[in-house]
Amino acid sequence: MQTINGIYLQGKELEEFKERAIKSSKFEELLEAINDLLGDDDLTKEQLLIEYGYKGDIELEKDYVVSASQIVLGNESKTARIVYRELKDLDVPESFKLQGQVLTPDKADSRHLLGISFTSEGELEIDSIHTDYPDTELPDITEPLPDDPNYVPQDTENYAEPKEKKGVAITKAWWTSNGCLPGGYQHCGGNCGYGLKHGGKKPINYTDSCCVLHDRCYGSKTKNCKCDSMLIKCVRNEITWATFAIRLYFGPKGC
């Protein structure tokens, strides 16, 4: 599984993507839940700022590629965040496409990081991610994604190796089967982690820690499909493109 190529969205395409996100079926319910958690700081759709929009191709299996898009919206104080995703020609539950994060003070004036998602039946779920979060803003989700101005969805002839195309270098595969996930990950990715060829240092974030548990589960007598389910549950409140790809790849398989 790998993200082959993609591009950050800009201009009209990005604004239209935001409008589709706001009009999605569960958006109002998610925004209401966020406002309940924020208390006095009521957040409206008009106040939502775009953190980034991105579209790219994810190769799930050999010769099976899906095109996906993701937009991340948030408030000015960076205490609320919503992510909306679209997938072309891939049937996934509506609940897979929308989730959020909120950073809210608790009674002791410390900050509580919460994740908001939907079950496969469409029911809202709120999970505690961190009960004593040390920062005043939500975690940074910047990632080193391919950004090719000549990106064409499912342009498979350019997948195999980096090459020149109209004077722009095609970015190497973002997630390869024999290395670590770019961006400093030490355990996410094929052949990446303790005792493997790549990585193996201290996990850089929560997602990386989930990958450690996944590796250890694979090394035990537990069925791999159960390990995959554990990984999906572990990363379900993370909203980076990396965890989007993880959920897309491991999630639908089941035992």
Give residue 122's pLDDT band: very low, low, confident or very high (50, 70, 90): confident
On average, the pLDDT of the chain sits at 82
Ordered DSSP codes for 31-62: HHHHHHHHTT----GGG-EEEEEEEEEEEEET
Higher pLDDT, 95 or 184: 184
Give residue 3's pLDDT band: very low, low, confident or very high (50, 70, 90): low
Domain boundaries along the sequence of the chain: 2-251
Q: What is the pLDDT of residues 84-119, one digit of tens each?
A: 999 877 677 766 789 999 998 765 667 899 999 988
Measured distance CA(199)–CA(80) in Å, rounded: 32
Q: Is residue 251 packed enough to be buried (19+ CB in 10 Å), middle (13-18) or exposed (0-12)?
A: middle
Say if CB 145 and CB 241 are below 8 A apart.
yes
Give residue 131's pLDDT band: very low, low, confident or very high (50, 70, 90): confident
- Kindly tell me if the per-residue pLDDT of 45 is higher than 50: yes
Say if CB 61 and CB 67 are below 8 A apart.
no
Torsion of CA 193, 5, 205, 35, to 10 degrees: -150
- Kindly tell me if the per-residue pLDDT of 193 is higher than 90: yes
Which of 77-81, 126-130, 140-144 is predicted least confidently? 140-144
Say if CB 65 and CB 31 are below 8 A apart.
no
The pLDDT > 70 percentage for the chain reads 80
Look up the pTM and report it.
0.81
**What's the token pair of residue 33?**
């839940």
- Taking residues 179-202, report their average pLDDT: 86
Name, in order, each residue with C-beta under 8 angstroms of 36's C-beta and a sequence gap of 6 or more.
none
Query: Do β-strands 168-169 and 124-133 pair in parallel, antiparallel, or remain unpaired?
Result: unpaired
Q: What is the pLDDT of residues 139-180, one digit of tens each?
A: 888 777 778 888 888 765 554 443 443 433 334 444 455 778
